[in-house]
Chain A
């Protein structure tokens, strides 16, 4: 006796070769659908055709078929066995099992399509990102190029202004020339800012990790700003906490840039009161790093919440009606923000209209192991290039005049030529103490010239060669040094910087 539970889940039928039911042998499953002398194909259409393919005495299993009984679909497995003159058909109800299979299968396939869709979206995103990156790169390149193009004439303007200022002038001209210099220098800051920003954006800004002293940097800022500060109603207060290590590892130039930007801003917008600049250590559990909090607080005009939110955005300036708020091209704070981020630091500000503003910058610096501690020597030796034989090659007449003027002031013995070929001639026939070559010159560029080793052999085999150029990205400088230049004097330069550079290669 077969238990009822099993009975209702199967049915066994015998048919002839054409599918006519000859007997219903056992089981109760879907019994209503099967009557002797009717065709089994009505309920089991999948057997039509299939029966013809059966081989005698070979049992066959058909899994996952569907039959309908009483308007309900059932998933069934079918076992077939062909005999001499009949076919045994066993129908097993597997609906419960297939329900689960169905679920799993649907999930698998749905997952597959979702994955595909995501992959396609990612591809599209990737494509769009590449386009955006490219456009951004183009922009940065364009900015870098533009600022480079501007630097050359700017150098001439600043140089001539400096020269004119050194003459005896009447009061008016003196005043005008002061304005001219001042504006020129401002313009230089803007151009440098643009170049900086485009470099940071292009990922070309590389921070150095050298030994530096926060105290020195503060001292430096203090000297500079106290000197410049004419407004006696505003007190400048600098303080460095004693707990800060004397030397740490970081990029002093960029830190100086960050602080200068903030201090410059603070001074600009404070008519009365004070600007306080402090550095304090922040307690952390990290043994390798020391976090330092730099604070610049002023008692100036402050700003509204709306302004504060947008303050680090690029070109913010242009959007604020009072475009004197931050001076320059409004890039200063955008640069500060990016530099701080590049140093893994955080920047915050608190501000209240007419009360003042505080900027807080926290930056982690690597500590120096005690034994590695070196004294950072702050040596500044005055040097003279009097009577030094200096060859200068530059095709730009304005630049020639400026350089000639600087050298004359130092009583150096200068030879000025206006292209690479002329310079080559001189190098092959005279001894020089220093050779200064412009990079972009007609006939022969400075870069080409410097590689002509043979020409230097006779008289100038050990003469230091400096590049005079406005192309002063890190890559450029690296390339020039590789070509044979000892160092680079980047345009625009002041007479002080110019002489210092020459000294550094003459006496090192």
Chain B
């Protein structure tokens, strides 16, 4: 079985751990326990009739333009940048942050996910998406299990490119 290493990065508290928990264990918790360093989870996914073992790196959230250690990206096949739709500061400088991730990882494309969709009305969501200066791949809710699977499928697809 082929293994693919993927990373989830983004500001602290945006819901990286929650997305992974939802995807891997189908669980969600309202508690916020900040991730330290890195937690790695495994999940086997079916993609185009292939079984792929995803090694999912849950990287500690950053604050502002704090750097992620470059070595984390060694051998990575794809990365997801998560921001919090309900917190402006997690997406206002998204372009800059994405470029930094691209530089560090050498990856050409990053999957961009806006999480905590459940906290916004349709109108608010629209407004946020208008403000975000890059194309958002998916908006998700780890809490309501909305689009989480799709987000990781999109990420898996990236690993195969």
Contact = CB atoms under 8 A, between A and B. Distances in A.
Q: Is the pairing of A and B real?
A: yes
Interface of A: 45-46, 48-54, 60-66, 75, 98, 101-102, 105-106, 108-110, 112-113, 116
Interface stretch (B17-25, B28-36, B133-141): B28-36
B5 A64 contact: no
A319 to B, nearest CB: 44
B71 A62 contact: yes
Contacts of B13: 109, 112-113
14 contacts: A45-B40, A48-B3, A49-B55, A50-B5, A50-B75, A52-B75, A63-B37, A63-B69, A66-B40, A98-B37, A105-B34, A108-B63, A109-B13, A109-B34
B34 A53 contact: no
Given A54-B74, A116-B87, 13 more contacts: A45-B42, A46-B38, A46-B55, A49-B5, A50-B5, A50-B75, A60-B71, A63-B37, A65-B40, A105-B36, A110-B32, A112-B13, A113-B13
B91 interface: no
A113 B32 contact: yes
B36 A109 contact: no
Contacts of A51: 75
Given A45-B40, A61-B71, A62-B72, A109 B60 contact: no
A94 to B, nearest CB: 9
Given A109-B12, A112-B13, A49 B37 contact: no
Nearest to A94: B37
Nearest to A102: B36
Interface string B44-65: 0000000000010100110100
B116 interface: no
Q: List 7 tightest A-B contacts by C-beta distance, closest first.
A: A64-B37, A53-B75, A49-B5, A53-B74, A52-B75, A49-B75, A46-B40
B3 A49 contact: yes
B115 to A, nearest CB: 15
A45 B76 CA distance: 13
B39 interface: yes
Interface of B: 3-5, 12-13, 32-34, 36-40, 42, 55, 57, 60-61, 63, 69, 71-77, 87
B34 to A, nearest CB: 5
Contacts of B60: 64, 105
A116 to B, nearest CB: 8
A63 B105 CA distance: 16
Which of A48, A49, A116 counts the most B-chain CB atoms under 10 A from its CB? A49
A48 B12 CA distance: 25
Contacts of A63: 37, 69
Contacts of B39: 66
A62 B73 CA distance: 10
A113 B90 CA distance: 13
A50 B36 contact: no
Contacts of B38: 46, 62, 64-66
A129 to B, nearest CB: 23
A106 B33 contact: yes
B48 to A, nearest CB: 20
Contacts of B75: 49-54
A166 to B, nearest CB: 72
A49 B36 contact: no
A61 B72 CA distance: 9
B95 to A, nearest CB: 23
Which of B5, B32, B42, B87 counts the most A-chain CB atoms under 10 A from its CB? B5
A45 B55 contact: yes
A51 B55 CA distance: 13
Nearest to A49: B5
Nearest to B39: A66
A112 B39 CA distance: 23
A54 B71 CA distance: 9
Contacts of A65: 37-38, 40
Contacts of A61: 69, 71
A476 B75 CA distance: 78
A62 B38 CA distance: 9
A186 B55 CA distance: 87
A75 B37 contact: yes
Nearest to A52: B75
Nearest to A60: B71
A102 B37 CA distance: 9
Nearest to B42: A45
Nearest to B54: A49
Contacts of B12: 109, 112
Contacts of A110: 32
Contacts of B72: 62
B70 to A, nearest CB: 9
B44 to A, nearest CB: 13
Given A65-B38, A98-B37, A60 B74 contact: yes
Which of B36, B57, B87 counts the most A-chain CB atoms under 10 A from its CB? B36
Nearest to A98: B36
B69 A49 contact: no
Contacts of B32: 109-110, 113
